[in-house]
A and B are shown apart, each in its own frame.
Chain A
Amino acid sequence: MKISITVNGRLHEADVAPTTRLVDLLRNGLGLTSVKEGCSEGECGACTVIVDGKAVTSCTTLAFQMDGKSVTTLEGIAEETLHPLQQAFIDHDAVQCGFCTPGMILSAKALLDANPHPTRDEVCRALEGNLCRCTGYLPIVEAVLDGAERLSRS
């Protein structure tokens, strides 16, 4: 099936099988390996990407469903310098093994794009589909709240 999909601002024409998942297209087709696969059933959130503004698990999304849509991966959120959220993750040590980090940052970004001043509760809710076994989430939540501050200042 031929689809047109915008990934990180660039338009791609892709020929995908009906069973090709978005995660496969991104990782294997486009080499965007920041997208991680952890559970293959949309439970861990490691494969989270942003599709037209919403955080979506790319392991439970089929590639052909993305025809005409715009997808953002972690590779697409920083240009010359790190995104303020990424910097906040560094400053709060919100990363240990790093495997959940891309999905975490994208879930957080989708939240902040829609709700620039979330409460702590709203941050926790936005991250509830992203599992992390290393950090206990607390530094991540701090980083997202701080990231919101930084974004509203910039």
Chain B
Amino acid sequence: MSDLRYVGRDIARNDIVQKVSGQMRYLADLRPGGTCHARLLLSPVAHGRVKAIDGTEAAKVPGFIRLFTAEDSPRRRYNSALFLPDQQDLKDQPVFTDRPLFVGDMIGAVLAETDEAARRAAALVRVDIEPFEAVTDPVTALSAPSFRDGFPQIVEGRLSCGEGAAPREGHAELTTTVRTPKIHHAAMENHICRSHLDYDDVLVVQSPCQMIFTVRFVLSELFDRPINRVRVIKAPMGGTFGGKQEVMIEPACALMTLATGLPVQLNLDRNETINATRTRAASVGTVRTVVDGEGYFLHRETDVVVDAGAYATGGHRVAMAMGKKLFRLYRIPSQTFRTRTTFTNTTPSGACRGYGSPQIHAITEIHIDLLARKLALDPAVLRLKNLVEPGDLDPTGAPPLGNARIKDCLLKGMEHFRWNERIAAEPGDGRYRRAVGLACATHGNGYFGSPYPDFLSMAIRLCEDGTLLVNAGLHELGNGTLTVVAQITGEVLGLDPSRIVVTEGDTQTAPFDVGCVASRVTYVCGACAYEAAEKLKTLFRDQIAEATGKDAEGIELDGEVRFDDGKRLSYGDAVCLIAKVLRQEVGIYHNYAPKANPASFGVHFAEVEVDCLTGLSRVTDFLAVHDVGKAINPRLLKGQIYGGVQMGLGMALSEELAYDRSGRPKNDRFSRYPLVNAPDMPPVDVLLIEEHEPGGPYGAKSIGEICTVPTAAAVVNAVNRALVTELTELPLTPERIIAALAERESNKTGRGGQEQVMFSRTTGDSH
């Protein structure tokens, strides 16, 4: 499709000049007068009961306005992930609580005239808390006494297909347990929110969020206000990665505005953002796979304990999302998945780039490599025997996989990365060991086929000067959403994307959209934009025909109006002509609901070098291969992949939110939370498989989440190959690597490793 003018091209993102010149105004950069500032009072204990709060000293701070506590909180509780009234997730979170369940739980807030006064006053509030025993480990939480005041301590979910595999001669099996860490999103902009009351009693909330309509719904329920009197506006955003997806600090901010009538800005510091918002859920997964004598998967059982933290939030949705991925990557005739979401006295988990996918793939892909080792097979070969093919169905009845090009990804990647040559190389036996590893992954394209309805609308209009306004409830997260939608509509209408403005969400003016989440933006919203632009084009042509008396068949729309008699008209002049002659606007409203939810795929290849003396691992080379259908903007797409790889490297090697026995966070600041920085990054090569996904705009499908999904497993597999270890507890910190090496040494000198595999291969293969 080389005739495309804007799609498939490296168009610069719409807001990049503002961003490089420091003119992008994030919420914290706005300085209208009269806004009050709030600071939260966060629980210093992981579990307890507030006996008393004394604001006497705080009230003496000049500029102090008011102290808020649990007594000011609505009796109603909420769940931060809900967006329609019928959704049944547990509503267990109060706005302000006197029964704090984690360090960082909101027990109140201080409102003052300035941020400085709010901080000073908050520091002077005396809180008397009776501390209780804390539960910090999700597995311990399965049997620990519940701290949840009547809410369930375990939420269970299951998925399955097939009928199991009877043990037969020649079959082999392996069981592995993998632990993945609790992770901070680390968007560079901390959480922030502003609210005020507008004329006509409309509560206005500005938030750098991902789901304006979810925020609107939760606020409307919590404060018992009509939905049309809650206006949520998406603010410019300094990163999210799911951390700003659920309703987070908006309820506290809105509560203060509603109670006082004042405009309020609520800022969080880094330490508060880490403790008081959301994390990636920690998980502990045990996988058992049964294979036949040739390495074909016969049956798999996966049991995952997911740490929701202290409140339900979207935690159990994450757990179920994990399970769904298991049925969409390999052909496995029989499979069971059980998850138990448990609760700990730690920061609640929730959405985080991949929504459980990086965790479940770490669990299964590390397991598959260990299985390959036991079977003495190349891990790429074992996977190739079992991977899905284009057109495969999901055995659980979920939507079909679509144009599933995972095998292309793996085969092309193997060639590009020189896999066969590199896998054959010895890791060495000196201080530095080097090896390669890979992992495969799948992820979705929206909500279709899930319990959550997937749809949106857009209104698009040609203006009197021929520019285009796409009125949508979108959220630019920094990933290029607005640019991509401009490219798609521009392609259809022959308009340069620089002449198109795509709006971000404002619940009062934008059509409904479930949110910029679930890897649905390009595939679902992009398809909506495509259809809307086509519809507008048809209307425009008909209007021109009617206004000019010419035949619609003879009108071409290609950035300008071309008549078959050679005459031309600019879009702007045509719009004005239609206004004058027909008294009509050139605009349409289009509703779109996807009819498919294909799978996106990726394979990551990593080369690592491990220093056996220090235990430090360094990723020295990396290849990411992705089945993207079609790259609407290859440069922006690669940018997503580089960032996804970076997050995955952190998950593999350095990032983990840890707690002491009393539930106190050990590393709730950047100086104690090692993120991947520029010198840590390996060169990352990207290979795109563009084989057209039906239903996607110009054949495109998702990339934003899938690109961080296989990373951690690929790195861990490389380390395990380099060291001949079976490391399964992430991240692979130097301490864990040194411990594993020591254990390997003692096993060598002792009786030999624990033999986990039961391999009953006889002489002839039974398959």
Contacts and interface: CB of A to CB of B under 8 A. Distances in A.
A100 B188 CA distance: 7
- Consensus secondary structure, chain B interface: loop
Nearest to B672: A43
- Consensus secondary structure, chain A interface: loop
Contact of A98 (B24, B641, B681): B24
Contact of A41 (B13, B23, B187, B669): B669
A93 B15 CA distance: 11
Given A82-B20, A95-B19, A124-B679, A132 B188 contact: yes
Contacts of A39: 270, 669-671
Given A43-B671, A127-B678, A97 B20 contact: no
A136 B643 contact: yes
A140 B639 CA distance: 10
Interface stretch (B95-103, B237-245, B503-511): B237-245
Interface string B631-655: 0000110010111111100000000
B755 interface: no
A97 B24 CA distance: 10
A86 interface: yes
A101 interface: yes
B639 A97 contact: no
Contacts of A141: 678
B478 interface: yes
B29 A33 contact: yes
A93 B480 CA distance: 10
B681 A136 contact: yes
B237 A133 contact: no
A98 to B, nearest CB: 3
Given A40-B269, A124-B678, A78 B21 contact: yes
B670 A41 contact: yes
B678 A99 contact: no
Interface string B205-232: 0000000000000000000000000000
Contacts, number: 166
B20 A125 contact: no
Interface in A109-136: 121, 123-125, 127-136
A139 B20 CA distance: 14
B190 interface: yes
Contacts of A129: 677
19 contacts: A37-B190, A38-B670, A40-B269, A43-B671, A82-B21, A95-B20, A96-B239, A96-B639, A98-B15, A98-B18, A98-B19, A123-B678, A127-B677, A131-B675, A133-B185, A133-B646, A134-B639, A136-B642, A136-B646
A46 B670 contact: no
A128 B28 CA distance: 25
B186 interface: yes
Given A33-B25, A93-B636, A136-B643, A82 B479 contact: no
A123 to B, nearest CB: 8
A58 interface: no
Interface residues of B, number: 56
A101 B239 CA distance: 12
Contact of B681 (A41, A46, A138): A138
B681 to A, nearest CB: 5
A14 B270 CA distance: 28
Nearest to A137: B678
Most chain B CB inside 10 Å of its own CB: which residue of A31, A39, A44: A39
B22 interface: yes
B606 to A, nearest CB: 14
A74 interface: yes
B635 A93 contact: yes
B12 A90 contact: yes
B31 interface: yes
Interface of A: 27, 31-34, 36-41, 43-44, 46, 73-75, 78, 82, 86, 89-90, 93, 95-102, 105, 121, 123-125, 127-141
A36 B189 contact: yes
B684 A99 contact: no
B681 A38 contact: no
B242 to A, nearest CB: 12
Contacts of B479: 96, 134
Contact of A99 (B12, B26, B639, B671): B26
Given A38-B188, A41-B669, A93-B13, A133 B22 contact: no
Given A36-B188, A134-B478, A136-B645, A97 B678 contact: no
Interface in B244-290: 269-271
Given A41-B671, A74-B21, A135 B642 contact: yes
Contacts of B18: 98
3 nearest interchain CB pairs? A34-B22, A97-B478, A99-B238
B363 interface: no
A121 B681 CA distance: 11
B17 A133 contact: no
Given A105-B20, A132-B188, A139 B477 contact: no
Contact of A135 (B15, B17, B643): B643
Nearest to B186: A133
Given A39-B670, A98-B15, A131 B188 contact: yes
Contacts of A98: 15-16, 18-20, 24, 238, 478
A95 B31 contact: no
B453 interface: no
Nearest to A19: B116
Given A40-B269, A134-B239, A97 B187 contact: yes
Contacts of B21: 34, 74, 78, 82, 86
A28 to B, nearest CB: 8
A46 B188 contact: yes
A102 B677 contact: no
Nearest to B184: A133
Given A97-B187, A129-B677, 12 more contacts: A31-B31, A37-B190, A73-B22, A82-B17, A93-B636, A102-B22, A133-B186, A135-B642, A135-B643, A136-B639, A136-B645, A136-B681
